[in-house]
């Protein structure tokens, strides 16, 4: 079989290279747990070095130091996962856990069979706990990296549990692991290699999670207005156009509400642009509180915002617009220790108002990008102009063509 020191050296070298690669790939750009995960790999490499150098021993101190390196590595992985999801635990808690494990396993130095079983149970339970944390906290759309991490952690926990069971039933398989310089049995070698493969899989999963989050950020920046977080105009016509196309295919309804903050230029001129920006953010927050999850809110331009309401009739859109208007009028937007009150106007139009549109499909039969949304928005904009011309702080519904 494979020479044990050679195996441990290879595993140590792999950990060091993996830690360096992870830090180079992510360390400078994103430190959401990268440092802790890198430390965990270096601690695991330290564990392999100490294990290789110590050989067979029942010395409590050496055993405790080896256990401390392994336990600290698992603890650092847990800290990395928690930090990735914005959760933090006191460093003292991680250090205390590692020291407790080291003390327990050090006390069992003279009983190697029991020590292997106890260590397998502790480390296996830790990996299962990390898998549960990673699965429970993940709320992002892209899940491939999370799945790889969770599968790796569960697999690693399972390997450790099997290792503990085998050590309890067949201790002779493990107790000669360090004592035969010519090699070792298949079971401990395979379990060590498989456990290290799990480490590589988990590290790749952690790396992929960062990449997926970075892609989400880029996509969100491309789709949203940086100040208010509402969709930008391009995304409005992309997503809203799909809703209009769907409504035309299914014979359902879709309505559009154009909202405008009354006298917004006066706010900017009187209080400054920073106050104006705060008013825009506060206005969007109020509007969001009135919408359904399926509704699309976009910044149409300046102080104008557009809401696409899938499946909503013009009457339903008017009820919503009145609710928004009342909420804005009643709300107080806090700006630098003072409150600013504003009103808003709204114009409404629906697909029925432009029902006589020519087919908005291209030559290949596929829907054009906005599938008639531009015409609906145009009618809603005309209604908004009428609301402003009639005194503002009101809702006007476009008349059917």
Residue 358 binned pLDDT confidence (cut-offs 50, 70, 90): very low
Summarize pLDDT for 78-104 with one digit per residue, the tens.
999 999 988 888 888 888 999 999 999
pLDDT tens sequence across 205-239: 998 998 888 888 888 889 999 999 999 999 999 99
195 or 223, greater pLDDT: 223
Which residue, chain included where needed, has tokens 């799945």? 147
Q: How far apart are CA 149 and CA 207, in angstroms?
A: 9
Is residue 393 within 8 Å of residue 345, measured between CB atoms? yes
- Within 13 Å, how many C-alpha atoms sit on residue 375's CB side? 20
Look at the block and give the residue holding tokens 């699309």.
Answer: 296
pLDDT digits 0-9 by tens, 119-129 = 999 999 999 99
Binned at pLDDT 50, 70 and 90, residue 32 comes out as confident
- Return all residues near 6 (Cβ < 8 A) that are at least 6 apart: none
pLDDT the model gives residue 179: 47
Mean pLDDT, rounded, of the chain? 85
Q: What pLDDT score was predicted for residue 213?
A: 87
- β-sheet bridge partners, residue 350: 255
> Looking at residue 173, what is its pLDDT?
66
Return the CATH fold of 4-223.
Rhopdopsin 7-helix transmembrane proteins (1.20.1070)
Mean pLDDT, to the nearest integer, of 1-23? 79
Tokens at 140, concatenated: 């992002």
Say what the pLDDT of residue 387 is.
94
List Cβ neighbours of 182 (8 Å cut-off, separation of 6 or more): 3
Higher pLDDT, 201 or 25: 201
- pLDDT at 364 (0 to 100): 42
Say how far apart CA 61 and CA 252 lie, in whole Å. 74
Domain edges within the chain: 4-223, 233-397
Phi, psi dihedral angles at 289 (to 5 degrees): -65, -15
**Judging by beta carbons within 10 Å of its beta carbon (0-12, 13-18, 19+), is residue 154 exposed, middle or buried?**
middle
- If you compute the radius of gyration of the chain from its CA atoms, what whole number of angstroms results? 31
Pair 180, 5: CB distance under 8 Å? no
Strand partners, 346: 259, 395
Query: What confidence score (pLDDT) does residue 34 get?
Result: 87
Please give the CATH topology (third level) of the domain spanning 233-397. Alpha-Beta Plaits (3.30.70)
């Amino acid at each position: 079989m494979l020479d044990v020191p050679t195996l441990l050296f290879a595993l140590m070298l792999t950990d060091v290279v993996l830690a360096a690669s992870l830090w180079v790939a992510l360390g400078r750009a994103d430190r959401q747990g990268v440092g802790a995960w890198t430390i965990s790999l270096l601690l695991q490499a330290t564990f392999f070095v100490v294990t290789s150098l110590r050989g067979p021993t029942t010395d409590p101190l050496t055993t405790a130091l080896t256990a401390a390196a392994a336990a600290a590595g698992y603890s650092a992985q847990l800290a990395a996962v928690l930090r990735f999801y914005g959760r933090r635990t006191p460093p003292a808690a991680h250090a205390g856990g590692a020291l407790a494990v080291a003390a327990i396993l050090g006390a069992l130095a003279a009983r190697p069979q029991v020590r292997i079983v106890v260590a397998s149970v502790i480390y296996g339970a830790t990996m299962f706990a990390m898998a549960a944390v990673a699965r429970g906290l993940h709320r992002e759309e892209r899940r491939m990296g999370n799945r790889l991490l969770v599968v790796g952690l569960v697999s690693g926990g399972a390997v450790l549990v099997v290792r503990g069971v085998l050590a309890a039933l067949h201790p002779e398989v493990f107790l000669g692991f360090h004592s035969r310089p010519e090699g070792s049995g298949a079971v401990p070698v395979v379990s060590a290699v498989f456990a290290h493969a799990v480490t590589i899989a988990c590290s790749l999963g952690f790396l992929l999670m960062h990449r997926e989050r970075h892609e989400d950020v880029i996509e969100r920046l491309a789709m949203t207005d940086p100040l208010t977080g509402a969709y930008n105009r391009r995304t409005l016509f992309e997503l809203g156009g799909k809703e209009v196309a769907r409504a035309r295919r299914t014979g359902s309804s879709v309505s559009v509400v154009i909202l405008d903050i009354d006298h917004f230029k006066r706010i900017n001129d009187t209080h400054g642009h920073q106050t104006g920006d705060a008013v825009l953010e506060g206005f969007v927050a109020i509007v969001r509180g009135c919408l359904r999850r399926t509704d699309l809110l976009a910044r149409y331009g300046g102080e104008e915002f557009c809401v696409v309401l899938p499946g909503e009739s013009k009457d339903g859109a008017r009820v919503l617009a009145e609710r928004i208007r009342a909420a804005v009028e009643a709300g107080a937007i806090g700006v630098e220790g003072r409150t600013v009150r504003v009103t808003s106007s709204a114009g409404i139009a629906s697909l029925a108002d432009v029902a006589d549109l020519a087919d908005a499909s291209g030559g290949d039969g596929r829907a054009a990008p906005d599938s008639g949304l531009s015409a609906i928005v145009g009618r809603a904009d005309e209604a908004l102009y009428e609301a402003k011309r009639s005194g503002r702080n009101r809702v006007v519904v476009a008349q059917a063509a």
